[in-house]
Structure 1
Amino acid sequence: YIPTITILESLQREGFEPFFACQTKVRDQSKREHTKHMLRLRRAGQLTGHQVPEIILLNSHDGSSSYQMLPGLFRGVCTNGLVCGQSFGEVRVPHKGNVVEKVIEGAYEVLGVFDRVEEKRDAMQSLA
């Protein structure tokens, strides 16, 4: 497997910064180091704002799931966060081959989706 920190360090070199992290709880403590986890990443310089695009990275270290990257849009409304509820270009990278390079490519692929996300957001806002 490729540790998430290796992927994170590579994404940071590409200008992505972690904004939020969490992981699932496990019943079997022997699996604690392999639990599924999520990172929310934003471009440097876009860590704050009213509406900020981000990449949501999901992974588990036991190979039970592939790396998954989803485009999200954080909109500051009270203390709630809004993440796109419709699929806009999820990228999955299996734990084999050159995973780091594929995840970096996937991150840029997800970034290319944000124009569509913004169009959908504008359409939803026009309904109010």
Structure 2
Amino acid sequence: MSKFPLTHAELMNQAPALFTEQPHIDVSDKYHFIPTIEVINEIKKNNWYPVSVSEAKVRQEDKEGYQQHLVRFRHFDDLLNPQENAVELLLFNSHDRSKSFSISAGIFRFVCANGLVIADSVFESYKIKHLGERENDVAAAVANITAIKPKLMDKIEILESIELSQHEKESFARSTIPLRFEKHLQVDYQDLLVPHREEDKRNDLYTVLNVIQENLIRGNISGTNKETGRRFTSREITSISKDVDVNQGLWDIAERIASIKEPSFALAA
């Protein structure tokens, strides 16, 4: 992920779907089309700048340029004075109705280049209607994420202050397995707790959360298919929807652990 905002040319090169000028042919005539780049430009006017972008892979060639895409934005203040963690604004959309226009919140951890997506239980996603006052929808969503930034950073500080025992770390890891693996796929939860850098050899809840997240998302976890008896190794998650589901599930579990270990954490919501 870039430390600087992506240029217009970089956005076009990395995600052509952002610039699609009409909806997919299968979309209803009632669908009010909005080019994603227009919303990106509106968000930029509110001091948030795009720092990464991704597109979903397509199985049908006619969906190329219309598929689901995700743009991550960082606030001007965080670009100017980067810290260890930064709240991000996440813009989702598609031009084939596979994903509605929405804005969510996320957290980026620089030490491992991990991008968490905040659970809906913490931050409600804001839908941008294809009918109605688009500018008002965008402005309201951006204003809400900007307003919640300090509270999310406070939550991170609390998560960093909560120390987990080995048993608690193992329970955390076990509870996350269903987020990624189906019941017939057996993996060793200990593999999810393996850190990949010196900075991650800590026992605080936030670090453990990020270690598990990295192992779930980036793959390379070995296991056994109980139905066939065959061994397998997980691949990196490239699906935007699956990435979001895993991230939100992880955050939700971490919040539950925090509420058990530090009851005052629930009051910070």
Q: Is this a same-fold pair by TM over 0.5?
A: yes
Q: 1:68 aligns with which of 102, 109, 125?
A: 102
Root mean square deviation, CA, Å: 1.7
Partner of 2:154: 119
Matches within 5 A, 1:99-110: 99-110=134-145
The reply on whether 1:15 has 2:27 as its aligned counterpart is no
Q: How far has the Cα of 1:118 moved from its partner?
A: 1.7
> 8 Å contact 1:37–1:59 — kept in the other structure?
yes
| Larger helix proportion of the pair | 2
Query: Larger deviation: 97-106 or 2-11?
Result: 97-106
Q: Any gaps of 5 or more consecutive residues in structure 2?
A: 1-32, 163-203, 205-269
Q: Any gaps of 5 or more consecutive residues in structure 1?
A: none
Which structure: larger Rg? 2
> 8 Å contact 2:72–2:90 — kept in the other structure?
yes
Query: Larger deviation: 64-73 or 82-91?
Result: 82-91
Give a deviation string over 1:81-123, Cα, whole Å, max 9, x none: 1414433322122321122331222111122222331222111
More RCO (CA 8 Å, sep 6+): 1
Distance 1:120 1:44 in 2: 21
Distance 1:16 1:55 in 2: 8
Give a deviation string over 1:44-99, Cα, whole Å, max 9, x none: 2422432111101111122333212111121222x331414433322122321122
> 8 Å contact 1:91–1:110 — kept in the other structure?
no
Matches within 5 A, 1:78-89: 79-87=112-120, 88-89=122-123
Distance 1:116 1:13 in 2: 23
Distance 1:71 1:24 in 2: 20
Partner of 1:39: 71
Matches within 5 A, 1:42-57: 42-47=74-79, 48-57=82-91
> 8 Å contact 2:109–2:115 — kept in the other structure?
yes
1:83 is matched by which residue type in structure 2? L
SS of residue paired to 2:154: helix
| Larger strand proportion of the pair | 1
The alignment's TM-score, normalised by the length of structure 2, stands at 0.44
1:69 is matched by which residue type in structure 2? I
Aligned residues: 127
